Structure 1
Amino acid sequence: MAQANGMTPVILMLVTQVALASVNIFFKFAISSGVSLPVLIAYRFLVSTAVMVPLAFFFCRDKIPKMTWKIIFQGFLCGLFGGSLGQNLFFESMALTSATYITAVLNLLPAITFIVGISVRLERLEFGTAAGKAKVFGTIMGMGGAMLFTFYKGFSIDFLQSNIHLLPRNSIHLALPASDHRVLGAFLALAGCFSYAIWIIIQAKMSETVPCHYTSTGLMSVMSFFQSTIYALCVERDWSQWKLGWNIRLWTAAYSGTMGALVVTLMAICSRLKGPLFVSAFAPLMLIIVALASVLFLDEKLYLGSLLGAMLIVCGLYVVLWGKNKEMKKRMSELVLSNEIQT
C-alpha cells in the first residue's frame, strides 16, 4: 500500500505531461484549420472558467477569502501573465515554428524564472557557491540550446518519418517556416516564458492570501477569460471566426480548457506531496511526446540542430534544478539550526 501511495504522484505527473502534450497537438491541428488564435484562446478560458469556478465553490466554499482589492489585483496579474498574454504569445509562436519547438522552449522556464527572480531580488545569485554556479551555467546552457534550435538545422533525421500525415496538405503551417518567421517565433516563445515566470512569482505571493488552489485557479481563469475576450474582440473583426461548430476548433477549446484547468490542480497536488522540483523534473517528458507525435503524425521534420538544441535545453533544466535543490537543502538546514539555537 505504501508503495502504491508513493507511485501516485508519479502517475499523476505522467498523466499531466500526456495531457499537456495533447493540448499542444490539438492546437497544432486548430492552427492548420486557419483558426483565429485569440478567439480560440478566449473560448479556452471560457471553458476553463466553467470548470474551475464550480470546483472552487464545491471544494473551497468554506475557505474562500473575502475578495479584497489586493486579491483581485493579484488575480488580474495572474490571469494576464499566466493566462491571456502567455497563451497568446506561445500559440502565436507555435503558428510560426512548431509544436516541438514550443515544448522545448518551455523547459527554459526554471532558468528564466531564476533570471526574473534575480531582477526583482527574490533570488540570490551566489555565484561563489556550487548551487549558484549551477543555476547560472544551467541558464546559459538552456539559452544556448534555444539559439541552436532556432538558428541551426543540420541534416534531417528521417528514420522516424512515417506515411501517416494527419494535417491537411494545404495547411499554411505545414511546411517549415521561413527563417524570419522562426526568429519572430523564437522571440514570442521567449517572451511567453518571461510572462509565465512573472506569473509564477505572483502566484507564489497570491497563495499566501488565497491558499485554496481551486479558488486561485478559478479567479485566474475568470480574469484570463475577460482579458483574452477583450483582446480577441479588438484584433478579430471577422465574426465567422467566432463560430466554432462541431469541428477541431470546438474540440480544441473544450479539451484544452478542461485539461488546462485540471492539470494545474494535479500539479499543485504533486507539488504539495513531493515539492516543486519533483514537478519540474517531468517537463522533458512532454517534449519527447510532442516531438514523436509531430514527426510521426504531423509531417514535421526533425533536424540535427533541433535534437542538439533540445538536449542542451533539457540538460540546462536539470542543472538549474540541481542547483535549486542544493540551495533549498542548505536553507532548510540553516532554518533547522536556527530553530535549535533558539530553543
Structure 2
Amino acid sequence: MAAGSGSIMWKAQLALLVTPLIYGCYHVVTKVALNHGVNQLVFSVLRDLIALSVLAPLAYFHEKQMRPPITKSLLMSFFLLGLLGIFANQLLFLIGLKYTNATYAAATQPAIPVFTFLFSAIIGVEKVNFLRYEGVAKVGGTIICVSGALLMVFYRGPVVIGNEEDNVSQTEIGSEGQPDSSSRLLIDGLKDIVFDEFSVGVMCLIGNCMCMGAYLAIQAPMLRKYPTNISLTAYSYFFGTVLMLIVSVFMTNGISDWTLTGSEILAVTYSGILASALGYGLITWSTKILGPTMVALYNSLQPFCSTALSLIFLGSAVYLGSILGGTFIIVGLYIVTWGSYRERQADANNVGVIHNESCVLDPLIQK
C-alpha cells in the first residue's frame, strides 16, 4: 500500500514538472501568434471553444452519476467563475502578453497563489493568525510578492540577457498588426495617464493574476456545494466562452479578424487542448494527491521554463527589473506557502491531540 501511494505521489510530482513546460510553451507559441496580428478576442473564443469541446464530454460521461442538481445560485456562481477565471483572466493575459514578452508573462504567474491567499482571507476561506509566526510569514510573504509585481511595472532597468534591439523589434511587430479594438481602448486610455504600452502590458498581466486568484478563491467554497470539479470547470468555460462571443461581435472588424494562418491555428489548438484542458487536469489531479501548497511550489518553475524557451525561440531580452521582480515574487511565494503548510500541520496536530484526549477522558460515552 505504501509503495503504491509513493508511486502515485511520484507521478503527481512528474505531472507538476510537466505543467510549467506546457505553460512555458504556451507563452512562447501565443506570443508568436500575437506578433502575427491575431485578434486577442478571436484567439480567446477559439481557444475556449476547443477547451469546452474537450471538457464537456469528459465531464458528462465521467461525472454523470455524481453531479448535484443545478440551482439558480449555482448558475450565478458558474457565471461569476466564467467572468473572472475565463473571460477577464484570459483577455488581460493576452493583452499583457502582446505588449510585453513571454518572460514577463511567466514571471508574474507565481503571484497567483498570493492573490488567491488575499482573496481567500477576505471571504473567510483562509484564516490569518498574527499571534503565530505562520500567520506573520503568510502576510509578510504576500507583501514581498506584491512588491515584486509592482517593481516589474515601474522599473525595467538595463538588459541583462539578450539583445534589446531584438526585443524592441518584437514589440513593434506585435503592435504593427491589425489594431485590436479590445486592447486599443485600454491602451490608449492608460497611455493618456503617463504609462507606456510596456507598463500597461505588465499591469494587465498582474490583473490577470488577480482575476485568477479570485477565481480560485471562489472555487474553494463552490467545490463544497458542487464537488464534481470537471463539470464545474466545464460550466465556467461555457459562460466564459459566451461572454467572449458576445463581446467579440462588437469588438472585431468582420471576417478578416477571424481568418487565421497556419501558425495561428496551431497556437489556438495548443492553447485549447494542452494549456487549458490538459494543464488544468494535471493541476487538479496533482492537487488531490499532493495538496495545493506543493502545487504552488512547483508553479514557481514556470518563469524559468518560459524564460529559457523565449530566449531560445524568440530571442526576448531579459531586463534587470524582471529578474529582481521575479525574485521577489518567488521568495514571497515560498514564504506564503511555507507558512500555510506549517499552519495546516499545527491545526492537524491540535485536532489529533483533542481527539485523543476526548477518547481518554470519556471512553464510555461513545459506547
Above 0.5 in TM-score?
yes
In 2, the alpha carbon distance for the partners of 1:110 and 1:83 equals 17
In 2, the alpha carbon distance for the partners of 1:118 and 1:147 equals 21
Matched, 1:89 2:104: no
In 1, the alpha carbon distance for the partners of 2:313 and 2:30 equals 14
Aligned length: 338
Q: 2:351 aligns with which of 332, 335, 338?
A: 335
Q: 1:52 aligns with which of 48, 55, 63?
A: 55
Q: Counterpart of 1:15? A: 18
Matched, 1:193 2:209: yes
Q: Is the 8 A contact 1:75 1:219 kept in 2?
A: yes
Matched, 1:71 2:80: no
Q: Counterpart of 1:42? A: 45
Identity, % of aligned positions: 26
Q: Indicate the SS of the match to 2:344.
A: helix
Change (3 A) 1:129 1:139: same
In 1, the alpha carbon distance for the partners of 2:137 and 2:170 equals 44
Q: Is the 8 A contact 2:67 2:226 kept in 1?
A: yes
**Greater CA deviation, 314-323 or 226-235?**
226-235
Note the alpha carbon deviations across 1:258-313, whole angstroms, 9 max, x for none.
11112212111111111111111111211101111112221211122221221111
Shift of residue 179, structure 1, vs aligned partner: 5.9
Matched, 1:105 2:108: yes
Note the alpha carbon deviations across 1:5-57, whole angstroms, 9 max, x for none.
33101111112221121111121011101111011101111001100111112
In 2, the alpha carbon distance for the partners of 1:116 and 1:273 equals 24
Note the alpha carbon deviations across 1:114-141, whole angstroms, 9 max, x for none.
2222332333332232111111111111
In 1, the alpha carbon distance for the partners of 2:13 and 2:27 equals 21
Q: Counterpart of 1:256? A: 271
Note the alpha carbon deviations across 1:231-265, whole angstroms, 9 max, x for none.
21121133211123x51221122111111112212
**Greater CA deviation, 112-121 or 44-53?**
112-121
Q: Is the 8 A contact 1:217 1:261 kept in 2?
A: no
Give the partner amino acid of 1:87: Q
Structure showing greater Rg: 2
In 1, the alpha carbon distance for the partners of 2:51 and 2:293 equals 26
Alignment of 1:272-287 (within 5 A): 272-287=288-303
In 2, the alpha carbon distance for the partners of 1:169 and 1:342 equals 65
Q: Indicate the SS of the match to 1:157.
A: strand
Q: Give the TM-score of the pair, scaled to structure 1.
A: 0.90
Q: Counterpart of 2:316? A: 300
Q: Counterpart of 2:152? A: 149
Q: Give the TM-score of the pair, scaled to structure 2.
A: 0.85
**Greater CA deviation, 145-154 or 303-312?**
145-154
Give the partner amino acid of 2:286: C
Q: 2:284 aligns with which of 254, 259, 268?
A: 268
Q: Is the 8 A contact 2:145 2:328 kept in 1?
A: yes
In 1, the alpha carbon distance for the partners of 2:205 and 2:157 equals 22
Q: Counterpart of 1:125? A: 128
